[in-house]
Structure 1
Amino acid sequence: MTGHNRLMTVTVAIPRSNVLLSRARKGMYLIGNSDLMAMKSKMWAPVISILHERNQVGFGMPIVCNNHPDYKNIIVEPDQFEKVSPDGGCNKNYCEFLVGDIILPGCGHELKNTKCWQDRAKDSIKCKTKVPKKLLHCEHYKNIYCSEPVSTNEKCIEKCRKQLECGHECLSDCGKCQNISKQETEEGTNIIGLIERTQHGKCQTACGKFLFCGHRCKSHCHKGKECPPCKDNCTVICEHTSCNKRCLEPCAVCAENCSWECEHQGRCELSCGVPCYRLPCNERCNKILECGHNCAGVCGEICPSKDFCVDCASEEVKNQVSDINSKSTFSETDWNEKKMIVLTCKHVYTMETMDMLMEMKNYYEGSIEEGWTSVKILPALLMNTKTCPTCGTPIKNVKRYGRIINKYTLDMQNKKFLLKYDSKLKEIIMQIITFRDEMIVRRNELKDALPKQETRPMKVVLEVRNKAVNKKLPEIIPHAYFESIGMYHGFDRKSKKAWVAHVNKLLVNYQKLVLIAEATKFPPHKKAFDVAASNLYRDKLENEDSYDYFVEKLLNLPILDDYASGSSPPVMNTLSSISSETFQEMLSRVGISIAKVDRRIYLDAFFEIVNIQKILHREILFIIQELSKESIPTASIIENTIREIAESTHYSRHLLLVNVEILEFDLKLLTYKLRFPSNESTDFYDTKALQERITEKCEDIKKRIINIIESQRYKNTEEEFKNDIHSRLVNLLENCNEIENWDVNTTDTLNIEEILETHQAIKTKRSGHWYECPNGHPCMIEDYDGAMQMNKCSDCNEQIGGESHQLTE
């Protein structure tokens, strides 16, 4: 059949054409001569017309790649299919069409959202899936691309975790420890295999120890060293006020009346900040809570809120462990039999549990079961803050434990006082040594700035009227004295300016030491006395008929050697007939013991003031070439003042030290008299008389040296301190022998080394358990010793420690 005949056959069969056009679901291509079909068939003519209107008639068949919709071609010849669409798509090499997820050969990892070209070239694609691979220099693994090898330069960022000398794990990056360690090896940085990590940085573990103030130490591990001062805010608070200082600063003692009162045991007569003296009440509170239920608290305490009502408490409160002995929760405790105490941290415990935790048996006679019958002498151990056993919050504002809480609060203030000023003293001591060395180096500059030798005064001023005096500390020469070289030593204004510039840094530290000495005049325990005495005196005025009662109460307070106002407290003269033993016992019962912390700081500051004066006198002598006669008795007075205080407060080490200082001073004085003999008394300096005087003085010094060595005070002192004293005594003896053997008739110059060395009085430890010895000295027992072993106070040799961590009786 010809083409013309076939066309005519199709076009004639109208029903069949209708089926052809109506059965296509998505689309249909008609291949043929559209003009001829429209011209020869009435049925196709309108169809072709519609297709023309829609622009659906063309000269060839368009094809589009399914993977690349923008890749289009018009097929007009059959062989075009092979050229432009060999695989039914297109002939592009890097097809960007997404074909879905594929599995990579070799590693088996899945490649997400794969493109067409990746699917074709999957054998050559590098897998970018990260997998853990063991590093070359350590035991750790690191996520690295699957297709990449582990490089020798790959840094390990895992924690090192090696055990340090302190016992903690190293928390530094492993890579950092590798770098430190390989520098110590012979191979250096060329190590290929495993690197043994033997060197580490500082331990990064937080210390976490409880400080005596109740806070935790937040510094990094410092094993073998004391914890640095607390940087938190102070937690001391009472119903009247709260402290807003930093924790390391000593607080003021609350002077308001103590509000602890109940119908069974009466009212506490002392101040709020002073350890209470009345007995705890074991009766149940008879008040009604705001919710209408009975209070389950203790008589005399502030009633807990309805949150801790036995009937209204929440599930959180009911699930708390309230009885530590029986491990019973709040809901399991029979509050009809037990009495509750709610802490400020919102944890609640039975009265029996809290009495045990607060160690009431150490403060009162009696028992938890039978009640407390009388007060005990307070423990000598300087207490750390008691904390909640659940959360560690310091326990405060519980009136029942006012005797204990205020005792450790006052102890805490004394510790803060000691640590604060001890730290300042150490800083000043280091600066004194530095400035002393700098002054020696700058001596030639000072010499050039001063008048020439022949114009300098050969005699110093012996007496000066209206000499400046520190009214608060009359025993200490004001620092202004050492600035006024023109007034006291006859130099001009230019020379004074050069002198002040030479010694200014040292005088700044001199003034700091004077301020520290002034601060010791009113330390925390004296503040406690002042407020307690004021309250009792006011109570006496309100109850004139109970004068004897007031005096009895006043027996419980210390008589101070220097009362804050400069005069004795009211009615203190009535106590003169009381024996010291009875008085000291009553002091301990109330808790305001006569602590010697302030005297200790005062003595240490005083010694450093003496050291600065030695340096300044030496510089003056360098200038004048003659000892100032006025400065000699001043030094003697200062050292005798130290000796009197050290004797009265039983600070044996300070007493030993000042006795050696006085010996050195006496020998120094003798040396100067031999170097610069006076022409005013020719009889005294007659050759024979002078030789006898030298022998007599040297024999006296030798006897005093022997007395020191044979004294129990010297024998009982700690070894390190004893060795230092012994070294100085040996040097004294050698110099004394040289002076004694010197022939006054010879022209030889007496060659005795100046005894002007500065010496630190005491080294303070700050880690361990704090105690007060029977003489009131702050003592430290190392953590590993404990009070179960016998120890001795390093200041007075009294025994501390012993059974149950109590002082030896």
Structure 2
Amino acid sequence: MCPECASPEIKSCIADLVLQRELEFIDPDAGTLDELLITLPNCKHVFTVETLDGHCDMSEYYERDGVDGEWLGLKAPPIGFRKPPTCPTCRSAITSPRYGRVFKRADLDILENNVAFHMSQALQEVIRRVSSVPLKEICTRLKNNASLPSLQPNRVKEKTINKRERQRKALLKETRLIPINSKTLDPSDKTLHGVVPIEVKVWRQAVQPLLNAYRGAENVTNIRSSHQHAWEASFSYLYRKEMEDITNDPDNAPPNPHEYATQLARFRVGQPPPRADKRFYVEAFWATISIRLSLAEATTSWLAGLASRKGYPKISQYLWETYTVFLLKTCRQDAETALTIATESESHRQVLKTKLILLRIDLEQFRLNISKSRNSQSREILCERATEKLQEAHNSAAAALAQYFDMRDQDEEWVRQNFGDPVVNILQEFGKLERSIRMETFYEPLSLEEMSDIVKGLNFGHTGHFYKCPNGHTFVITECGGATQVSICPECGAQIGGTSHRLLDSNVRDTEFEALAATHGARRNPWAT
């Protein structure tokens, strides 16, 4: 039978017989690849070159003239994980120089998997540390520790303030592929913030777990995979070579040498930049952003405690406010970078989750802006802004969902859990802010002295007169202090009070005011259970 006319199954059998030929039937003088022998360095097994070429998939790494023709040149390596080539007889590694591209490509994949595992473990540790941080306790601690033993008034020149503002703006304009450096998060940094060290020391003692977790997440983004190193080295070499050729032949130089050299170097590398580890970079960005949002929340509580102090320097308050604004702006900048990386990697789920993070950042920025401007702008203007932001959030969420389902129409349950439900919460928070502005329930926190003045002015004989509505607004029951009727909270419209000296289940005692009343001589609350 003619081998050329045989079926694929018979051809395979013929090939197997050929590959199992004994040495006495090999004719090296023929000069063809199926007659040339190669001995593997590790195990000393002998095969024909053509046998190992097929076994190592050489046609995926080099161009060839036809099926059995000459090798013509290099080909871009295959994409996807490749196992190291092994001896067909004993499975020991093939490291012959002829197959250098093959086993080096496989070695890179193994190193890539090791890097991915290391990055995954490091991120899990960061997430574990962040989840164990009691943020509410930190916020309460900072607010209570706002009464410092001594204050060093900040004497800052306007020139210095303007210079720091320019430095912060310049930093935010920089193009970065990693999150903002942890050193810039130090409020006492004289270049960017300049908060007095005595205040920063107390603040740092409370938020140190968050700062430590941030550095852990930051380290993950500094890990570079082997494929990334290899691609960058190849690109750098080809770019320099193109620039040298342009320099040596200025008469034929293109109009934009750098752009031309960059494009040609990318083309000659033969494949796009690796993106397998981009997933971990994006998740590391998410971790640093989450930590900074927690830092901003803690700093807002700290600032509220400081601002409630009588005679607290306005300049110090301003420095803390600008620091909080800086935190939120870096969050937005890094979220945009993470969105770009996820989009280029065609990771549609990461794109959707990053857009969710952007919505949350918008909420926190708007909350801070409202807090800063509620005394300087009319309620009508603030209401208008709140309505606009709520509508913008609705539109952004709808657009993100539409784009996701255009690209990936599946797994609606995942979308609901990871985007739909969180978005509803964010929109509800926007709605609460809007209603609070319309009902004028934004107010400055009372200082300890002001609260003491209220207790002294009412001069109740016993505790048990101060309560809180479901939304935390304080109200007073006079006379005996026992609830005898149901009313409406003037701040939020919730039900307050009770009947037959029994408080509504949704109301609670205001222990802070009661403690102050006790220190001023009020007797024990007779209605306490």
The match for 1:340 is 37
CA spacing shift, 1:665–1:394, aligned 2, 3 Å: same
Q: By how many angstroms is 1:540 displaced?
A: 9.7
The match for 1:525 is 228
The separation in 2 between residues aligned to 1:391 and 1:649, in whole angstroms, is 39
Match of 2:400 among 690, 705, 708: 708
The match for 1:772 is none
The match for 2:329 is 633
The match for 1:380 is 79
Match of 1:478 among 167, 181, 200: 181
Q: Deviations over 1:318-340 (max 9, x none)?
A: xxxxx965463654542435111
Match of 2:121 among 398, 423, 441: 423
Match of 2:380 among 688, 694, 706: 688
The separation in 2 between residues aligned to 1:539 and 1:742, in whole angstroms, is 62
The match for 1:596 is 275
Q: By how many angstroms is 1:505 displaced?
A: 3.2
CA spacing shift, 1:360–1:704, aligned 2, 3 Å: same
The separation in 2 between residues aligned to 1:739 and 1:653, in whole angstroms, is 29
The separation in 2 between residues aligned to 1:513 and 1:431, in whole angstroms, is 11
The match for 2:365 is 669
**8 A contact 1:410–1:525 mirrored in 2:** no
Q: Deviations over 1:166-223 (max 9, x none)?
A: xxxxxxxxxxxxxxxxxxxxxxxxxxxxxxxxxxxxxxxxxxxxxxxxxxxxxxxxxx
TM-score (norm 1): 0.42
**8 A contact 1:709–1:715 mirrored in 2:** no
**8 A contact 2:185–2:327 mirrored in 1:** no
Matched, 1:433 2:114: no
CA spacing shift, 1:378–1:505, aligned 2, 3 Å: same
The separation in 2 between residues aligned to 1:523 and 1:324, in whole angstroms, is 37
The separation in 2 between residues aligned to 1:718 and 1:694, in whole angstroms, is 34
TM-score (norm 2): 0.61
The separation in 1 between residues aligned to 2:327 and 2:244, in whole angstroms, is 51
Q: By how many angstroms is 1:354 displaced?
A: 0.7
The separation in 1 between residues aligned to 2:379 and 2:143, in whole angstroms, is 35
Matched, 1:697 2:389: yes
The letter of the residue matching 1:382 is F
Determine helix, strand or coil for the equivalent of 1:349. strand
Q: Deviations over 1:441-477 (max 9, x none)?
A: 455555555425998999x998673679799959744
The separation in 2 between residues aligned to 1:675 and 1:535, in whole angstroms, is 54
CA spacing shift, 1:516–1:360, aligned 2, 3 Å: same
CA spacing shift, 1:445–1:371, aligned 2, 3 Å: same
What does residue range 239-638 of structure 1 map to in structure 2 within 5 Å? 325-326=17-18, 328=20, 330-336=22-28, 337=30, 338-345=35-42, 346-363=44-61, 364-366=63-65, 369-373=68-72, 376-399=75-98, 401-434=99-132, 436-437=133-134, 439-441=135-137, 449-451=145-147, 465=164, 476-484=179-187, 488=193, 490=195, 493=198, 495-520=199-224, 524-530=227-233, 533-534=236-237, 572-575=258-261, 587-588=269-270, 593-597=272-276, 599-625=278-304, 628-638=324-334
User: Which protein has greater RCO, CA pairs closer than 8 Å, 6+ apart?
Assistant: 2
Count of residue pairs brought into register by the alignment: 395
The separation in 1 between residues aligned to 2:150 and 2:389, in whole angstroms, is 35
Match of 1:722 among 403, 406, 415: 415
CA spacing shift, 1:743–1:482, aligned 2, 3 Å: closer
The letter of the residue matching 2:274 is A
**8 A contact 2:243–2:261 mirrored in 1:** no
**8 A contact 1:343–1:395 mirrored in 2:** yes
Matched, 1:736 2:430: yes
Q: By how many angstroms is 1:599 displaced?
A: 4.0
CA spacing shift, 1:405–1:651, aligned 2, 3 Å: same
Q: By how many angstroms is 1:385 displaced?
A: 1.3
**8 A contact 1:714–1:722 mirrored in 2:** no
Determine helix, strand or coil for the equivalent of 1:519. coil
After superposing the two structures, state which structure 1 stretch, 333-342 or 696-705, moved more: 333-342
CA spacing shift, 1:523–1:717, aligned 2, 3 Å: farther
The separation in 1 between residues aligned to 2:359 and 2:239, in whole angstroms, is 48
CA spacing shift, 1:535–1:636, aligned 2, 3 Å: closer
CA spacing shift, 1:414–1:354, aligned 2, 3 Å: same
The separation in 1 between residues aligned to 2:239 and 2:332, in whole angstroms, is 42
CA spacing shift, 1:728–1:714, aligned 2, 3 Å: farther
**8 A contact 1:510–1:609 mirrored in 2:** yes
Structure having the larger proportion of residues in helix: 2
CA spacing shift, 1:714–1:516, aligned 2, 3 Å: farther
The letter of the residue matching 1:339 is L
The separation in 1 between residues aligned to 2:223 and 2:336, in whole angstroms, is 21
Determine helix, strand or coil for the equivalent of 2:438. coil
Determine helix, strand or coil for the equivalent of 2:222. helix
Q: By how many angstroms is 1:358 displaced?
A: 0.9
The separation in 1 between residues aligned to 2:470 and 2:180, in whole angstroms, is 31
The match for 1:658 is 354
**8 A contact 1:540–1:546 mirrored in 2:** no
Please, which runs of 5 or more residues in structure 2 have no aligned partner? 1-14, 308-320, 444-468, 473-529
Please, which runs of 5 or more residues in structure 1 have no aligned partner? 1-322, 552-569, 754-809
Q: Deviations over 1:270-305 (max 9, x none)?
A: xxxxxxxxxxxxxxxxxxxxxxxxxxxxxxxxxxxx
CA spacing shift, 1:395–1:440, aligned 2, 3 Å: farther
Determine helix, strand or coil for the equivalent of 2:38. strand
**8 A contact 1:324–1:353 mirrored in 2:** no
The letter of the residue matching 2:129 is Q
CA spacing shift, 1:393–1:443, aligned 2, 3 Å: same
**8 A contact 1:462–1:630 mirrored in 2:** no
CA RMSD of aligned residues (A): 4.6
CA spacing shift, 1:734–1:453, aligned 2, 3 Å: farther
Q: Which structure has the larger Rg?
A: 1
The separation in 1 between residues aligned to 2:383 and 2:239, in whole angstroms, is 65
The separation in 1 between residues aligned to 2:428 and 2:143, in whole angstroms, is 33
**8 A contact 1:366–1:374 mirrored in 2:** no
Determine helix, strand or coil for the equivalent of 1:341. strand
Q: By how many angstroms is 1:394 displaced?
A: 2.1
**8 A contact 1:457–1:624 mirrored in 2:** no
The separation in 1 between residues aligned to 2:273 and 2:352, in whole angstroms, is 23
What does residue range 33-432 of structure 1 map to in structure 2 within 5 Å? 325-326=17-18, 328=20, 330-336=22-28, 337=30, 338-345=35-42, 346-363=44-61, 364-366=63-65, 369-373=68-72, 376-399=75-98, 401-432=99-130
Q: By how many angstroms is 1:539 displaced?
A: 11
The separation in 2 between residues aligned to 1:384 and 1:544, in whole angstroms, is 42
The separation in 2 between residues aligned to 1:479 and 1:747, in whole angstroms, is 36
Determine helix, strand or coil for the equivalent of 2:129. helix
The separation in 2 between residues aligned to 1:533 and 1:693, in whole angstroms, is 49
The separation in 1 between residues aligned to 2:249 and 2:163, in whole angstroms, is 55
CA spacing shift, 1:387–1:672, aligned 2, 3 Å: same
The letter of the residue matching 1:479 is S
The letter of the residue matching 1:357 is H
Q: By how many angstroms is 1:613 displaced?
A: 0.6
CA spacing shift, 1:743–1:476, aligned 2, 3 Å: closer
**8 A contact 2:116–2:277 mirrored in 1:** yes
Determine helix, strand or coil for the equivalent of 2:107. helix
Determine helix, strand or coil for the equivalent of 1:711. helix
Q: By how many angstroms is 1:386 displaced?
A: 1.5
